Chain A
């Protein structure tokens, strides 16, 4: 039954796609929305899920802004238990849970020379017991993965919000070595907490590096009776946002368009207080530790304690036009060791409306079709459709789908009323982070009149679903529009 309706969905979708090729619409103006799909009422989707994440603790070397290499400990995300196909990064991979993903299991593999574990402050864990050193002193907050071993960690009911995961073993050393990352869960698509909508989100981890300490660890010169015996004299010399220190010429990060509600997820992963400070505007501080404040506070600073998270909404009035805002640490971690110029925890947020792309980028071609430089004819052009899924490269590029995968393109995959009184659930995919989706409906395809059901819902890599709460009668056609940019 379900399969049949799904096929009908595809057929209907393809037909409409031919009627309204995206390319024609695209060329009109940068504000034009892409028409990708539409379909008729059908049935049944499943919600609620446990997410399994495979993390591997290992070493990596980061080159600091002044050229000094520093050995870090970090996490890689592998695709499964038997492979090591991820890359160790600092911060570790961001774990983003959708609204249906209540349970989280982290399968930890440890390639470091000492035991490692994972804790998430603020989230209920199926608790393990602290491990102890041979002398009886507690060493960890929970059970551990020994060197070369594995351990599983389960959080059965992750709450919406912004959290940090980090090592719960020998934390004085291991957290500052780089064993941390962001965990987020949405309360709904485009919604951070119940009633808190956003169009764009940026997760910013504020971290520090004490290179001398890291050198000692790398040289096995850290520990009892060694040169560095503890983190007591921790003294960071590098100050990083998402693993990057400012250097002259660092380009602004696109944060959103004027009018967009930009959700700033602020996380301190250092050992000292940091004060993210916005130059030229205010943001609305709305949560701490994943918990909404009773009243949001207008401010340009956020006093961010170690391992605390805060969320803020930042919106630039469309009447103020495009602007770039410096975001910096007011504790003044604004230097790269003793380098002369500006450095440290400084980044720039670009709030503007970029033009919709008219061609694919070289990086995208390499990422999807290999390094080349010669590709078979009909593969990499903006109007080519090498996977023959009916969506040309340029549209796949804009929508963030895979141009070499015939099953990856934006479409409605199901229309279903799990509860007929609750309306219609429109399920669509593949979606991509950083994109905005609109749901529209009409009762007569020939009339050409479409109602907006949902506006500018932030994309979430994978499938998304949104509800049209109106009664099921009259029957409606639905389509998804992708905003560009």
Chain B
């Protein structure tokens, strides 16, 4: 499940803090805190059921006015503060309250509506997830009201970028020298973390302002909902290895030919074009089908695994593996090429893959964005982990693809 807070009465505090980058850097930022907590990057993910009336009070502890806009939400009322260029703003030490009813399910974003060229860069951007109300389901595993949008797991991919030189000027109180037209990002984030921190657990103590991870983990055949948000001001091509995904919706609206048709206009892609300010919902699923060999290393007489691609069952691995002495090892290698199996590894090798899963890099396909200030690998990069079903007590509910 996606981490977040559910309100529906929210108190968000705009304040400064520091984000860690995986190259050892520390970047000053402006973020939103849940109440009196630390400012976080990205802003807290707001998760509410459809029909909820949200009340969001923004308290401003920054030295500049700040505000929030909620693209895709109609009838947002703002009270308090003073009128800004786009919405009402909280002055320094002031506050403003926004209220609206999240009438439609979907993935949305919210961000600063005051000097957004500076304040979104500084970190005031977050996700809003509105769950559909589905009769008979207390916690619907469905992105939208239509049954074609069911999922087994969901993950957030809020994509942003930062130019640390702007942040340095702001930290040094040299705001007048900031020129956002010269912006040149050098850090790229998924859910507020640079790779490989994206794969560290949520809420680890050493990333106090970056509570959210971004590491999809799922079983073969499961439907994985990707909620992708363009949070910065540059587009990002989010490339997911392993299989195509099917796009269900953009900006909280199903790609549908008719109101009740479901996502029948969804496209199959291997790179999700993430556009600033836009959201994309896509379903990803992986079974290893059509590889031409049995990913489990079965003998023909072995039983099928759940969701195994039956036509390749028992087909031999087409490669003779070199002996370990002639290999180098990644930390995610289990010692075996087969899903769910492990093998002997030299001392100190491997160890990041206790479930003997398969790993696929999911990353920006703008390859210069998978660095941390020029250090590869990092940036907008994470790994998706396909975890085999437990071999013990395996249920043989075989589904032909």
Contact = CB atoms under 8 A, between A and B. Distances in A.
A32 B74 CA distance: 31
- Majority SS at the chain B contact face: loop
Interface in A322-348: 326, 328, 330-335, 337-338, 340-342, 344, 346
Nearest to A238: B181
A280 B117 contact: no
A273 B235 contact: yes
Interface stretch (B10-18, B217-225, B250-258): B250-258
Nearest to A273: B235
A198 to B, nearest CB: 21
B71 interface: yes
A298 interface: yes
Nearest to B235: A273
Given A246-B85, A282-B253, A332 B117 contact: yes
A424 interface: no
Contacts of A331: 233-234, 276
Contact of B117 (A236, A326, A344): A344
Interface residues of A, number: 36
Contacts of B273: 303
Interface in A228-252: 235-237, 246, 248
Contact of B250 (A273, A297, A335): A297
A157 interface: no
A300 B117 contact: no
Nearest to B230: A330
Contact of A342 (B75, B115, B275): B115
Interface string B166-209: 00000000011011111000000000000000000000000000
Interface string A278-293: 1111100000000000
A281 B180 CA distance: 28
A301 B253 CA distance: 12
A281 B253 CA distance: 12
Contacts of A344: 117
Contacts of B255: 297
Contacts of A334: 115-117
Interface in A204-228: none
A206 to B, nearest CB: 14
B72 A282 contact: yes
Given A248-B85, A338-B179, A297 B233 contact: no
B86 A346 contact: yes
Query: Which residue among B113, B117, B175, B256 has the maximum number of chain A CB atoms within 10 Å of its CB?
Result: B117
Contact of B115 (A320, A333, A335): A335
B400 to A, nearest CB: 32
A300 B84 contact: no
B263 to A, nearest CB: 12
B265 interface: yes
Interface in B237-284: 250-251, 253, 255-257, 265, 273, 275-278
B117 A333 contact: yes
A277 B87 CA distance: 14
Contacts of A235: 181-182
Contacts of A335: 115, 117-118, 180-181
A275 interface: yes
Given A297-B255, A301-B278, A342 B233 contact: no
B71 A301 contact: yes
Given A275-B278, A295-B256, 7 more contacts: A246-B85, A300-B277, A303-B278, A334-B115, A334-B116, A338-B181, A340-B176
Interface of A: 235-237, 246, 248, 273, 275, 277-282, 295, 297-301, 303, 320, 326, 328, 330-335, 337-338, 340-342, 344, 346
12 contacts: A236-B181, A237-B181, A273-B235, A295-B256, A297-B255, A299-B251, A301-B275, A320-B75, A331-B276, A332-B276, A338-B176, A340-B175
Interface of B: 69, 71-76, 84-87, 113-118, 120-121, 175-176, 178-182, 230, 233-235, 250-251, 253, 255-257, 265, 273, 275-278
